[in-house]
Amino acid sequence: MGYDLIDVKPIAGNIGAEIGGIDMAQPLGNQAFKEVHDALMAHQVIFFRDQDISPAEHVSFARQFGTLHVHPYAPHHPDHPEVLILKSSKKNRSAANVWHSDVTFEEEPPLGSILLAREVPEHGGDTMWANMYMAYEALSEPMKRYLEGLKARNTAGKASFEKAYDNLSDAEKLEILKGRMAQEGAEHPIVRTHPVTGRKALYVNAIFTQKIVGVSSKESRAILDFLFDHLKRPEFTCRFRWEKGSVAFWDNRCTQHYAVADYGDATREMHRVTVNGDRPY
């Protein structure tokens, strides 16, 4: 794939590329938009460095890719509800150390997210992404046939809450749990077809996917545990070292990500704007 306006440098063998030639504070023209979108489709997650942008510019950049999502319970910027504030300290690591796709308990989960580093630790605090096309393609043919057509229930209930929020205070847990329990959840196919590329991707995750529909609880648990372990194989992944002003833009429909909580007492603050998606099929 050729690019005239941007530089695209892959950072791993099977997922991820760093993009040069874009100032996110400025509107993308038609050609630049096409090239950035093409790079996202080709590499699943793309990275930008040295982006000194305001919350309003962050929102404006994201709006070029679709309407924006407002998270149902997490804290956001006071002037821009589309900007989710993810501030992590030693006692609060949010969804760190868990592979997941975002907000799959909604009927139409996000297309993707644009994450900006506002404050990063001197050491540690990397994020990893995994290629769910490859996770699906690496399954055996009998397993693919078994999974084809199956759906799984995704919820934001207590079980998933406990996995991701062990380090929150009791008061913080209660407030977030109230928001999560208000979400009824959604059933999505275990194997999802990407609406742009047409490729099939594994679409279950360890935070929100609770049970395969139509099978026993014991069978569901065994299959889901196998898939959760399978999808994090190192050859499916890339790892990104954050700097202040770095940005990651990932396709939530064909990736999972994992925030590595290895930075001790340091604080890490990220701002995330999320683009609305469509119903998985």
Q: pLDDT value at position 78?
A: 80
Q: Looking at 80, 100, 253, 268, which residue is catalytic? A: 100
Count other C-beta atoms under 10 Å from residue 128's C-beta.
21
What are the structure tokens assigned to 128, written together? 């990893």
Per the annotation, the verdict on 100 as an active-site residue is: yes
Report the pLDDT value the prediction gives residue 183, as an integer from 0 to 100.
Answer: 57
Domain spans, the chain: 7-275
CA–CA gap between residue 152 and residue 169 (Å, rounded): 31
Is-catalytic flag, 102? yes
pLDDT of residue 236: 98
Residue 268 bears catalytic tag: no
Burial group, residue 198, by CB count within 10 angstroms (0-12, 13-18, 19+): exposed
Which residue of the set 58, 102, 192, 251 is catalytic?
Answer: 102
- In the set 76, 93, 257, 271, the catalytic residue is 257
Q: Average pLDDT for consecutive 10-residue bins of the chain (281 residues)?
A: 92 98 96 98 98 97 96 77 83 70 95 97 96 98 97 77 49 55 82 98 97 97 98 98 98 97 92 96 96
The number of beta carbons lying within 10 Å of the beta carbon of residue 254 is: 28
Q: How far apart (Å, rounded) are the C-alpha atoms in residues 158 and 144?
A: 30
Catalytic residue among 58, 69, 180, 272: 272
The predicted pLDDT at position 64 comes to 97
Concerning whether 272 is annotated as a catalytic residue, the answer is yes
Residue 66 CB neighbours (<10 A): 15
SS3 164: helix
Superfamily of domain 7-275: Clavaminate synthase-like (3.60.130.10)
> Is-contact 6 38, C-beta < 8 A?
no
42 in Cβ contact with 197 (< 8 Å): no
Q: Give pLDDT, residue 79.
A: 83
Helix H or strand E encompassing 39: helix 30-43
